[in-house]
Structure formats: structure tokens, C-alpha cells
Amino acid sequence: MNQTQPPPLQIGMLLYPDFTLLDLTGPQGVLGLHGKTHLLWKTLDAVSTDTGISLNPTTTFGDCPDDLDILFVPGGFGTPQAMEDPEILRFLANRAARARYVTSVCSGSLLLGAAGLLRGYKSTSHWAVHELLPMFGAEAVQARVVVDRNRISGGGVTAGIDFGLVLLAQLLGEDAAKSTQLMLEYDPQPPFDSGTPKTAEPRIVKQVLDFLEPLNQQMLRGAQAALRATST
Amino acid sequence: MNQTQPPPLQIGMLLYPDFTLLDLTGPQGVLGLHGKTHLLWKTLDAVSTDTGISLNPTTTFGDCPDDLDILFVPGGFGTPQAMEDPEILRFLANRAARARYVTSVCSGSLLLGAAGLLRGYKSTSHWAVHELLPMFGAEAVQARVVVDRNRISGGGVTAGIDFGLVLLAQLLGEDAAKSTQLMLEYDPQPPFDSGTPKTAEPRIVKQVLDFLEPLNQQMLRGAQAALRATST
């Protein structure tokens, strides 16, 4: 096996209506250079995202390879509905049982939780829904990227880039991650210090919490529904 | 006009074969919450990106609104071919003449240059093709985001998030940008200090330059072809 290239990574990324496009394209921009990306959905029909762009699935749940290197779940405004969809949850549980890494960004971790995949694992999520993770038996950790055995999760949206680089280093080594970071010119310079509730001005935090309040209520109801479905 | 909401931003984003998905979805994730995104292409057929995912145009060149708040151009492996496409360059020049902001991320600035839109303007690009900007009469500036009158450009790929927040602050004010940054949890923590050639280890820089060499040769040829077409 010396002097041969490793086979390209098999990367399975879940789509669902009204997921957040950047949750997925951050990690895909990092990992997609090193493997084959399967965009997974029930059918091959275009799937809407939550800022008005659609993405085309490449692979149906039925055609998804049995053994993925990475099973990835994005978050988004559509997460609550997805948590109540048994077909999605069954598919995730099935492939996660065989995948090398079971991963998420943003509220995608709630979907992994709803599928029963975070019991006894440390995980993170978007800061605004962090507190829901323990409902699924997960230990909520406030960090940009959380690694616990083969479960790796990123925080909200843009954390997906940091997440992707951490995962790539685990899969292909630090040099691959460093050269990819250079290729993507990931030398961030946020124009404001407003990326977490710890540093943002209180009135900005309040503004975002007010905006997200209805969504967070939906997230809670979705989580409760998923737990009821499991217990019956 | 007091107490009325401003009309949603009209955001026109160019698609072309083998552009870099994350060049576009970074800014779109920031700006898309505040307006209508038009994904622009000659037809409504899906357009490939350079890591194997396709995106669906929403609006043809012919149907694009005359007056855009933002005209945006991503970069990518397909930039050289796009620089030689007179239909794309004519479209960009036409809408740029009326747009409030004429913008790019990564090698997208070379396309703006090829369309004659950067003469006498400061601009930036992906670090590996930075030196081509003066061919188009632009002043190349090494910075994450460069603002010169109504031209705003971002550096390579992930610079699109910083770019988007700077542009949003100009359009809707700092509070809108700060709350969007918090919503996207943009508190980056790159796992390595490898995001620019200034900080990356020399062997990593060499690895990426070797990988990009054929593309950069194509970029140069595309730029020369665009200049020849203009001068005849």
C-alpha cells in the first residue's frame, strides 16, 4: 500500500428544507477538495435553504454509500421540522452506526440528538439553542469545535470552517489542513467584536434573541416531539 | 417615509461554471438575510462549482433588475474561462454602471478587471493572483477587505465573510452588521496559523503554490485574452 494515494473521502452531507446554506458550504469548502461530496436527500429534487437559494441533492438516502468517512448535518431554520421527520432520523441513525465520523454544525447537533446519536457524548451547537442538547443525553460544551471520540460538532454557522479544518487534520493530517487553510486564505479579520454573546453589546444580543425567539420555541417543540416518538 | 422599512436589498450574484461555492455563500450568508438574492447566469440551468456541487440560477442575465444594490462576483477555478467570455463581461459592465456597489471576493476581482471595472480603483484578490490586478489598471492592495468608493473587494475565499459584514455595515449600518455577525456566530478560531503566506510554514506555502501553478498560468492567459479583446 506504500506510494498509493488514499481513496478519496466519502463525505455525506444531509440536506433538508430550510437548512442554513453556509452551515454546509463552510465545511464543504474545506473538505470537498479532498473527497467526494454526497448531498443527501429523499429525492433528487432541489432543496430550499433559509436564505432563498436551493441546492441540488446528488444522492438519495437509498443510494447513499453504506460506509461514509463523514456523516455531516447542518442546522438552520428548518431544523425543528426535520427533528419531527422519522425518515430523516432513521437514515441518520443507520449511516451513523457505520460512519467514521458523525458530525454537525450549528443546530445540526439537535438533529443528531433527535436521532439518538449524542447520548453520552460531548457536543456543541449554535449559542442560542445550546441549552437543548442535554434533553438528548448530550453534555453541552461551549466551544467553537467539540471532539468526543468520533463525534465532532461545530458552533453556529461560521464555526463550520474551524470544524472542517479540525476534522480534516484528524482524517488526513495537519499538513493537509494547513495547506487547505492557506488555499482558502482563512486568516479571519471580523470587522466587529460581535461574534458571541460574551463580546457583543447587550442591545445587539437582545436584538438577535428577540429575532430568534420564535425559532427557539420551535426548536424546543421539535426536540420534545422527537423524544416522545422515541419513547413510544 | 418615516417608520417604513427600507425596501429589501437587491443582491445580484454572478454564477459561472466552476466558481468557488464558498466565495459566494460566505457573503450570501451575511447579506441574504437582508434582501433578495438573484443568482445570475445566462440560463436557469444548474451551474457547477469547483468542489462538485451545483447551484441553481434564479435569474437570467436578461431578467436581472437594472438597478442592483450589490453586484457581486465570486472567484474560482473557472475564472480564466469566464474572463474570456464576452457575454459575461458585457453583462457585468452594463449592470456595474448602475449598481450601488460593485464587488468581488477572491479571483472574482480579475473578472471585474477584465470587464474594465477596476481602472483607477484599489482592489484585492486571492493572495496567489494578487499580482495580476495591475494588468487591468487596478491598484493591488494586500488587505482582507478593500473599499474604494463603490468598489469593495475581499481576499481569498473565506475573506467573503469579513467582506460581507463590511458591506452590510455600509448599506444598513453597524448595528445590522453586528447582529448578523452574532447570528452567524462569527468568532473565528482557526486551528492553525496558516491562513496567509506570511504566517504559513514555507513548505506549506510551496505545496499550495505548486498546486495552484497551472491555475495561475490559466489566470494570466485569461487576463491577456481579455485585454486583447478590449484593445481591438
CA distance B153 to B141: 10
Q: Which residues pair with A123 in a beta bridge?
A: A140
Q: What is the torsion angle, in degrees rounded to the nearest 10, for the CA atoms of residue A100, residue A106, residue A108 and residue A111?
A: 120
**Per-residue pLDDT tens digits of chain A, which is 232 residues long:** 334 566 789 999 999 999 999 999 999 999 999 999 999 999 999 999 988 899 999 999 999 999 999 999 999 999 999 999 999 999 999 999 999 999 999 999 999 999 999 999 999 999 999 999 999 999 999 999 999 999 999 999 999 999 999 999 999 999 999 999 999 999 999 999 999 999 999 999 999 999 999 999 999 999 999 999 987 6
CA distance A64 to B103: 38
- Taking CA atoms, what residue in A is nearest to B167? A191
Q: Which residues of B touch A156 (CB under 8 A)?
A: 183-185
Say which of A158, A178, A199 has its CB closest to residue B194: A178
Phi, psi angle pair for B116, to nearest 5°: 80, 20
Average pLDDT over residues B33-60: 95
Q: Which residues of A touch B161 (CB under 8 A)?
A: 158, 188, 190
CA distances from A27 to A103, A163, A178 (A): 11, 7, 15
Structural domains of chain A, with CATH: 9-230 (3.40.50.880)
Q: Reply yes or no on whether the pLDDT at B5 is more than 70.
A: no
Interface of A with B in 61-80 (CB under 8 A): none
- Taking CA atoms, what residue in B is nearest to A180? B208
pLDDT at B52: 83
B106 has catalytic annotation: yes
pLDDT at B2: 39
Coil, helix or strand at residue A87: helix
Say if the Cβ atoms of A194 and B179 lie within 8 Å. yes
pLDDT at B121: 98
Q: Which residues of A touch B212 (CB under 8 A)?
A: 183
Say if the Cβ atoms of B191 and A165 lie within 8 Å. yes
Q: What is the pLDDT of residues B193-229, one digit of tens each?
A: 999 999 999 999 999 999 999 999 999 999 999 999 9
Q: What is the pLDDT of residues A130-158, one digit of tens each?
A: 999 999 999 999 999 999 999 999 999 99
Q: How confident is the prediction for chain B on average, in pLDDT?
A: 95
Q: Which residues of A touch B32 (CB under 8 A)?
A: 51-53
Q: What is the pLDDT of residues B63-113, one digit of tens each?
A: 999 999 999 999 999 999 999 999 999 999 999 999 999 999 999 999 999
E-strand ranges in chain A read 9-14, 35-41, 47-48, 54-55, 59-60, 70-73, 101-105, 122-123, 139-140, 145-148, 151-154
- Taking CA atoms, what residue in A is nearest to B157? A184
Of B71, B96, B102, B106, the catalytic one is: B106
Q: What is the pLDDT of residues B108-155, one digit of tens each?
A: 999 999 999 999 999 999 999 999 999 999 999 999 999 999 999 999
